[in-house]
């Protein structure tokens, strides 16, 4: 990976093979934090009471013949 | 309760009802708009019932529903996407009111950062990081290879890490 820029030029700068500028991987702390936040965001909505209109819809659809 | 004896309708309905909270969470994540999210879920439920025969028994029902929801979103809702959700306004306010007090600032920053990601990476992070689906299931939902899903998650994490790292958040 080191000194890649030199060698890749020699080989005609096939940029598709050259690793993109190394983006520093997130530290384990940041990774944890991302995971925690994603879950918090998702669960915040998932833990809300289901709006009546959605359960009512299922009740209504249930009365109708499902075969179409 | 189930009048039709062996008819699976009662069970299907129970499974659908049980899936609604996660469907809503996914819909909000995708659309960034709570009202639209419920429309999305409504359409998904109706479509799922109409196409229940195409569900393969033994596979993950939630993943099947997520795929429907995602298709509904990208076919019917993308047109309206120009109306960018107000990420600082009503939507975030409702969300953060649900979040822990301690996480308040942190949470807003995170939401903003997430919105800055390309949608495929955002979606991948939500499916893998939050919804509890496997890479295989998420890849199927997004109609991509498992490796692609992994790479989206990885790139999304890296980008988020950069965005969040710019303003370190004490733990």
Q: How many beta carbons lie within 10 A of that of residue B111, not counting itself?
A: 20
> What is the C-alpha separation between B3 and B81, in angstroms, rounded?
43
Contacts of A30 in chain B (CB under 8 A): 160-161, 164-165
Q: How many beta carbons lie within 10 A of that of residue B29, not counting itself?
A: 21
> What is the C-alpha separation between B119 and B117, in angstroms, rounded?
6
Tens digit of pLDDT for each residue in A45-63? 999 999 998 988 878 766 6
Find the mean pLDDT for residues A1-10.
46
pLDDT at A7: 44
In the structure, what pLDDT confidence band is assigned to residue B61 with cuts at 50, 70 and 90? very high
Q: Tokens 């890749």 belong to which residue?
A: A8
CA distance B163 to chain A (A): 10
Tens digit of pLDDT for each residue in A6-48? 444 444 445 555 555 555 677 777 788 889 999 999 999 999 9
pTM for the model: 0.71
Which residue would you say has higher pLDDT here, A28 or B78?
A28
pLDDT at B34: 83
Give percent above pLDDT 70 in chain B: 73
Q: Tokens 């190394």 belong to which residue?
A: A22
* Binary contact (A46, B98; C-beta < 8 A): no
Give contacts of A 11-50 with B, CB under 8 A: 23-27, 29-31, 33-35, 37-48, 50
> What is the C-alpha separation between A55 and B110, in angstroms, rounded?
31
Top mean pLDDT of A36-40, B3-7, B62-66, B104-108 is at B62-66
> What is the C-alpha separation between B160 and B171, in angstroms, rounded?
17
CA distance B162 to chain A (A): 7
Token representation of residue B90? 């009503």
Token representation of residue A27? 């530290």
pLDDT at A60: 79
pLDDT at A23: 56
Contact A7, B142 (CB under 8 A): no
Q: Residue B22: exposed, middle, or buried by beta-carbon count in 10 A (0-12, 13-18, 19+)?
A: buried
In this predicted structure, the answer to whether residue B26 has a pLDDT above a threshold of 60 is: yes
> What is the C-alpha separation between B134 and B62, in angstroms, rounded?
12
Average pLDDT, chain B: 79
pLDDT at B81: 52
In the structure, what pLDDT confidence band is assigned to residue B142 with cuts at 50, 70 and 90? very high
DSSP string, B110-161: HHHHHHTS-HHHHHHHIIIIIS---HHHHHHHTTS-HHHHHHHHHHHHHHHH
- CA dihedral sign of residues A65, B44, A58, B60: positive
pLDDT at B12: 83
Top mean pLDDT of A20-34, B30-44, B59-73 is at B59-73
Produce one character per residue of A29-64: b if its CB has 16 or more CB atoms within 10 Å, e if not: ebbebbeebbbbbbbbbbebebeeebbebbeebeee
pLDDT at B14: 87
**ipTM computed for the complex:** 0.73
């Amino acid at each position: 990976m080191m000194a890649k820029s030199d060698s890749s030029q020699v080989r005609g700068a096939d940029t598709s093979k050259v690793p993109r500028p190394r983006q520093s991987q997130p530290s384990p702390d940041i990774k944890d934090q991302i995971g925690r936040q994603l879950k918090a965001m998702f669960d915040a909505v998932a833990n809300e009471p289901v709006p009546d209109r959605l359960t009512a819809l299922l009740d209504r659809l249930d009365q109708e013949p499902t075969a179409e | 309760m189930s009048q039709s004896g062996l008819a699976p309708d009662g069970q299907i309905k129970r499974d659908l009802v049980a899936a609604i909270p996660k469907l809503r969470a996914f819909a909000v994540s995708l659309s960034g708009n709570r009202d639209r999210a419920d429309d999305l879920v409504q359409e998904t439920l109706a479509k799922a019932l109409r196409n229940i025969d195409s569900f393969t028994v033994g596979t993950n029902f939630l993943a099947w529903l997520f795929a429907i929801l995602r298709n509904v979103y990208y076919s019917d809702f993308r047109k309206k996407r120009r109306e960018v959700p107000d990420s600082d306004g009503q939507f975030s306010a409702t969300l953060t009111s649900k979040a822990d007090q301690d996480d308040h600032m942190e949470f807003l920053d995170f939401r903003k950062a997430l919105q800055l990601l390309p949608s495929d990476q955002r979606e991948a992070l939500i499916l893998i990081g939050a919804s509890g689906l496997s890479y295989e299931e998420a890849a199927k939902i997004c109609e991509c290879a498992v490796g692609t899903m992994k790479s989206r998650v990885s790139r999304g994490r890296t980008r988020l890490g950069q965005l969040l790292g710019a303003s370190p958040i004490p733990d």
